[in-house]
Amino acid sequence: MFITLEGVDGAGKSSHLDWLADWFRVRGRSVRMTREPGGTPVGEKLREIVLHDPMHLETEALVMFAARREHLAQVIRPALAAGEVVISDRFTDASFAYQCGGRGLDPARLEVLEQWVHGDLQPDLTLLFDVPTEIAAARLANARAPDRFERERADFHARVRHAYLHRAERFPERIRVLDGSRTLDEVREQLAAILGART
């Protein structure tokens, strides 16, 4: 089973990673936790570059997919083949939300890359943590030094959020939306209900 977590920066998804992994482990499943951009030695180097060095918008999209290509080859496909549950903190929906929604790249360009890199493989379940952009911004204000995406203005984050919600409408079977503005316990209840229905 391939599960991805998505949401605007500050949506709170990372607070639930360990809980999610435990949910599967107590049910006897072996879990592989990973993230994008990153997840491999090459991918983590690309992450450093793409999060911090200014670049053309198409370069940014290509770097995301280069890291993803490596991630699929080294981590995701082997783990799925071994029967593990793979939980990735972000995947291709993030490219559609950030590079297309946020930055304005034509989605047709990304669809070509998506087809090339993982045309035959989609997540089984995507958990989209949705929060109003003001709440996300307030959470980020207390965070560590912001990266290139976190430093973007409020309208960028609003477009990213909108693009995510649009994807959720387009793929309702795969993408489940959670209200990330609730307390940790309330979000966990939502998660448990979704997972219970799926597994």
Complex with ligand TMP: residue 29 or 69, whichever CB lies closer: 69
Question: What is the rounded CA–CA span in Å between residue 77 and residue 74?
Answer: 7
Site string for ligand TMP, 162-191 (x = CB under 6 A): ------------------------------
Among 12, 37, 101, 123, binds ligand TMP (CB under 6 A): 37
Complex with ligand TMP: residue 29 or 45, whichever CB lies closer: 45
Question: Least CB distance from residue 177 to ligand TMP, whole Å?
Answer: 17
Range 56-75, binding ligand TMP (CB under 6 A): 64
Give yes or no for residue 5 binding ligand TMP (CB under 6 A): no
Q: What is the 3-state secondary structure (H, E, C) of the chain?
A: CEEEEEECCCCCHHHHHHHHHHHHHCCCCCEEEEECCCCCHHHHHHHHHHHHCCCCHHHHHHHHHHHHHHHHHHHHHHHHHCCCEEEEECCHHHHHHHHHHHCCCCHHHHHHHHHHHHCCCCCCEEEEEECCHHHHHHHHHCCCCCCCCCCCCHHHHHHHHHHHHHHHHHCCCCEEEEECCCCHHHHHHHHHHHHHHHC
Give yes or no for residue 128 binding ligand TMP (CB under 6 A): no
Among 46, 63, 94, 105, binds ligand TMP (CB under 6 A): 94
Q: Candidates 95-103, 131-139, 173-181, 187-195 — which segment interacts with ligand TMP by CB under 6 A? A: 95-103
Question: Least CB distance from residue 85 to ligand TMP, whole Å?
Answer: 19
Complex with ligand TMP: residue 40 or 95, whichever CB lies closer: 95
Contact 36, 89 (CB under 8 A): yes
Give yes or no for residue 4 binding ligand TMP (CB under 6 A): no
Q: Which residues bind ligand TMP (CB under 6 A)?
A: 9, 35-37, 64, 89-90, 94-95, 98-99, 149
